[in-house]
A and B are shown apart, each in its own frame.
Chain A
Amino acid sequence: MNNEKINRRDFLKELGFTAGATALFASFPWISGFAEDNQKAIAKEKLRIGVIGTGDRGRFLLNFLVRNPKADVVWLCDNYQPWLELGQQIAPNAKTCADYRQVIDDPTVEAIVIATPLYTHHEIAIAAMEAGKHLFCEKSMAKTLDDTLDMYQTHKRTNHVFFVDQQRLYDPVYLKAIEMIRSGMFGEIQGINTFWNRNGDWRRPVPSPELERKINWRLYKEYSCGLMTELACHQIQVGTWIWRELPERIYGQGGITFWKDGREVEDNVGVMYTYKDGKRLTFSSIISNAFYGLEEQIMGNLGTIEPEVGKYYFEKTPPMPGLLQMINNIEKEIYSTVSFAGPSWDPEIAKQNHGEYIIGKKRDFLDGTGFTVDAFVDAAIAGKQPPMIAEESYYATVLSLLGQQSIEEKREIFFPEEYRIDYL
């Protein structure tokens, strides 16, 4: 199973709900659009969507949209012709243009998807929201704190559906992990270590030199905030989600330590977010070593959870292998056996602590992007903004930008009150 095939029913199944999901929706109200009743109500509807930005990410989103029977992609827009043509291969019936205003000015378009470079998000998003469109915007929301706040406030005022692609909010592994954390399985969460390491120059091929800044916009400060807004934004959100509070202080450092190729954004960053009572979330990213890859290590006094690997580990002796899987199955009312090591307690096995899978098996789908896109389509058709989505996304961007600010200004930053919204 992968993102291409997994559907709403599979999504609920991954979370252990094969029928009805009242408890799930109570815990995670923003996914209530997947409820049977809500689905029936919109089953025959179709949402007319314009996709602005058909680069790599835009086409990734487009692939989910064209498979959704409730989505009708009517416009594709990009000011770089090769990408527009690639987009057309996915949605051949859509009209095309290079100017986003043409899409927004079309009164039959109900929703806009923005997958353009970061520095353009604010302008397009405000135009879309003011034109009464529902909006799905790639993360991060915007390049500056003021623009981010403006987008959020415009959303609240215009009152249309607004999603940002914070896909962890719709990732079954993360939802299950948060449920486990809230059940107290891992004790009090004391710290979260997040990292996203790669080994590559983060460049896209450029057919001719004058296109360098256009295509590799992520590397230049005029257009991008680099690793913080492109990568950290996802992981920082996990801290807000778990602790339900904002950090008091932010301190970051970074530099260009390896890819000295004319780029302006850092290729090596580390930021510490300190919460009340000293709890910390750290983010670090090095893009010249991929060994440790990507993870969020969520550490409680009783155990650790690693949602990217999809596993959790107890601090002390782990449970009988398979017992947690059996409990998972009992929850789903499935009969299963459990096998255990056999002879008396085996300290060597206990020490190895290979952990248990969060959803009872290895992750066999990519992430929550497909579900996020589907949820947006459902919400836009229903005209109902799910709780927390805009707010979690807002703070994810704000915290990323504050991290970047701290790196650039080489100082500790206290969370600025003027960017606090009525959430948390």
Chain B
Amino acid sequence: MVEQISHTFKRTLSGAGIYYGWFEAMHSRFDLLAIGIEEELGTTLCHKVAEETLRLEKRLNRFDEESDIWQINHLDNYDRYAADPELLAIFSEALRYREMTGGAFDIAVQTPDYRIETPCFTVDVPCESIVKLRPDAIADFGGFGKGYALETARRIVVGAGVSSALLSFGNSSVCGIGLHPSGKKWQIGVENPMHRGTTMNLFDLQNESLSSSGNLPYNRGHIRSTRTGEPIETNQIVSVVSPSSTECEVLSTALFAADAEQQQTILNNFPHLQATGMDFSTSGYTVHKL
């Protein structure tokens, strides 16, 4: 059992259960709100979600010496890393996103002297291994892990028959399962970082996720352009809505980091995507569809 899971349980006026549980993982906070279930089921689900999330964190945290990613990053030269099906699938998916975003998303962007045209990793499926293509390649699942964990959580919650729930991971990724108990879609807003409390845009979610990437006025440059290697400093937030939480997480970062050509590649390859850009300044903000 995972420790440090907190929860509350209430009922609506009509008597429907409201389970709200939360825990910390991946340097962030996971919130699980499920409507129409009893406390016992909510507690069981939250523990399962927490166990899975913390297990994934353990695997994907490149700073944890026991994690798979740390091991891979510290392989000599062109070594292979024997991977189980889950890790193979994670790497395969990450590399697929690299391909489909024109390189705007790359788990290897932290590699020293990174160059977009030079792949750093590949997956050898028949040999069940991850292969390093550069001795100094560094894999970082920072822009992927939370989305993947949220997707895993969504499957657990939906699999248990929950028909109305909201999952939030670290304020930047939210998944709306089913409808809000009122019968309407879950409606999530993105705040204007210059004016807290002001919503720049609202997004409707029904069995969909929303993820946002970008800069805050006092915390900028943490996302690098894969094209130039330089930190991106623009006052912009990009939000993406998609049925897949992983896709949201990856593509919001990719679209924020992308140049015009890459952006077009992404939008061509993911035509179902709802992507919105929000530019803000001290004098106001603009919202535009990507």
| Interface residue stretch chosen among B4-12, B45-53, B125-133 | B4-12
- Give 29 A-B contacts (CB < 8 Å), ordered by A residue: A17-B13, A184-B6, A184-B8, A316-B24, A317-B24, A319-B168, A320-B174, A327-B10, A330-B12, A330-B18, A331-B10, A331-B18, A335-B180, A337-B187, A338-B189, A339-B188, A340-B172, A340-B174, A340-B188, A342-B190, A342-B193, A342-B212, A342-B239, A343-B212, A343-B216, A344-B146, A344-B172, A344-B212, A347-B27
List A contacts of B14 (CB < 8 A). 333
**Binary B-proximity of A324-368 (CB < 8 A = 1, otherwise 0):** 001100111111011111111111111000000000000000000
Are B188 and A346 interface neighbours, CB within 8 A?
Answer: no
Question: Shortest beta-carbon distance, B41 to chain A, in Å?
Answer: 17
Q: Judge whether A208 is part of the interface by a CB distance below 8 angstroms.
A: no
List B contacts of A19 (CB < 8 A). 13
Chain B residues with CB under 8 Å of chain A are: 4, 6-14, 18, 20, 22, 24, 27-29, 31, 33, 35, 146, 166, 168, 170-172, 174, 180-182, 184, 187-191, 193, 197, 199-200, 202, 212-216, 218-219, 222, 237, 239, 278
Pick the residue among A180, A185, A327, A349 that contacts B18 (CB under 8 A): A327
Pick the residue among A316, A327, A345 that contacts B33 (CB under 8 A): A327
Are A320 and B12 interface neighbours, CB within 8 A?
Answer: no
**Alpha-carbon gap, A327 to B216, bound state (A):** 27
Are A302 and B189 interface neighbours, CB within 8 A?
Answer: no
Contact (A323, B33) CB under 8 Å given A331-B12, A337-B202: yes
Pick the residue among B146, B168, B214 that contacts A340 (CB under 8 A): B168
Question: Shortest beta-carbon distance, B255 to chain A, in Å?
Answer: 13
B222: nearest chain-A partner, CB-CB: A344
A-B contact count (CB 8 A): 132
Are B189 and A337 interface neighbours, CB within 8 A?
Answer: yes
Contact (A183, B171) CB under 8 Å given A330-B35, A333-B181, A339-B199: no
List A contacts of B168 (CB < 8 A). 319-320, 323, 340
List A contacts of B20 (CB < 8 A). 327
Are A320 and B8 interface neighbours, CB within 8 A?
Answer: no
Q: Judge whether A132 is part of the interface by a CB distance below 8 angstroms.
A: no
**Alpha-carbon gap, A2 to B172, bound state (A):** 38
Question: Shortest beta-carbon distance, A391 to chain B, in Å?
Answer: 28
List B contacts of A350 (CB < 8 A). 29
Pick the residue among A180, A302, A323 that contacts B31 (CB under 8 A): A323
Contact (A343, B8) CB under 8 Å given A327-B33, A330-B35, A332-B13: no
Are A345 and B28 interface neighbours, CB within 8 A?
Answer: yes
List B contacts of A318 (CB < 8 A). 29
Complex A-B, nearest 3 residue pairs according to Cβ-Cβ distance, in ascending order = A339-B189, A345-B170, A317-B29
List A contacts of B199 (CB < 8 A). 337, 339
Are A183 and B239 interface neighbours, CB within 8 A?
Answer: no
List B contacts of A317 (CB < 8 A). 24, 28-29
Using C-beta atoms within 8 Å of the partner chain, give the interface range for chain A. 35 or more
Tell me the interface secondary structure of chain A in the complex: loop
Are B18 and A320 interface neighbours, CB within 8 A?
Answer: no
Are A320 and B31 interface neighbours, CB within 8 A?
Answer: yes
B238: nearest chain-A partner, CB-CB: A343
Question: Shortest beta-carbon distance, A303 to chain B, in Å?
Answer: 8
Chain A residues with CB under 8 Å of chain B are: 17-20, 23, 180, 183-185, 187, 302, 316-321, 323, 326-327, 330-335, 337-350
B7: nearest chain-A partner, CB-CB: A184
**Alpha-carbon gap, A335 to B181, bound state (A):** 8
**Alpha-carbon gap, A350 to B172, bound state (A):** 13
Question: Shortest beta-carbon distance, A383 to chain B, in Å?
Answer: 31
**Alpha-carbon gap, A12 to B28, bound state (A):** 36
List 15 additional A-B contacts (Cβ < 8 Å) besides A339-B190, A346-B171: A180-B8, A187-B6, A319-B31, A320-B168, A320-B174, A327-B8, A330-B18, A331-B10, A331-B13, A337-B188, A340-B189, A340-B190, A341-B172, A343-B212, A344-B172
B199: nearest chain-A partner, CB-CB: A339
**Alpha-carbon gap, A347 to B14, bound state (A):** 38
Pick the residue among B4, B6, B174, B190 that contacts A185 (CB under 8 A): B6
Are A339 and B191 interface neighbours, CB within 8 A?
Answer: yes
A319: nearest chain-B partner, CB-CB: B31
**Alpha-carbon gap, A334 to B183, bound state (A):** 11
List A contacts of B222 (CB < 8 A). 344
Question: Shortest beta-carbon distance, B147 to chain A, in Å?
Answer: 11
Are A341 and B193 interface neighbours, CB within 8 A?
Answer: yes
A327: nearest chain-B partner, CB-CB: B20
Are B8 and A185 interface neighbours, CB within 8 A?
Answer: yes
Question: Shortest beta-carbon distance, B61 to chain A, in Å?
Answer: 14
List B contacts of A180 (CB < 8 A). 8
**Alpha-carbon gap, A341 to B24, bound state (A):** 18
Are B27 and A345 interface neighbours, CB within 8 A?
Answer: yes
Question: Shortest beta-carbon distance, A117 to chain B, in Å?
Answer: 44
Are A343 and B213 interface neighbours, CB within 8 A?
Answer: yes
Are B237 and A343 interface neighbours, CB within 8 A?
Answer: yes
List A contacts of B8 (CB < 8 A). 180, 183-185, 327
Question: Shortest beta-carbon distance, B49 to chain A, in Å?
Answer: 15
List A contacts of B200 (CB < 8 A). 342
**Alpha-carbon gap, A316 to B25, bound state (A):** 11
**Alpha-carbon gap, A187 to B193, bound state (A):** 32
Are B172 and A343 interface neighbours, CB within 8 A?
Answer: yes
Question: Shortest beta-carbon distance, A302 to chain B, in Å?
Answer: 5
B278: nearest chain-A partner, CB-CB: A342
List A contacts of B213 (CB < 8 A). 343-344
Question: Shortest beta-carbon distance, B210 to chain A, in Å?
Answer: 9
List A contacts of B181 (CB < 8 A). 330, 333
List B contacts of A183 (CB < 8 A). 8-10
Are A331 and B11 interface neighbours, CB within 8 A?
Answer: yes
A316: nearest chain-B partner, CB-CB: B24
Contact (A342, B172) CB under 8 Å given A323-B31, A337-B187: yes
A17: nearest chain-B partner, CB-CB: B13
List B contacts of A349 (CB < 8 A). 171
List A contacts of B218 (CB < 8 A). 348
List B contacts of A341 (CB < 8 A). 171-172, 191, 193, 216
**Alpha-carbon gap, A348 to B216, bound state (A):** 10
Question: Shortest beta-carbon distance, A232 to chain B, in Å?
Answer: 31
Question: Shortest beta-carbon distance, A36 to chain B, in Å?
Answer: 14
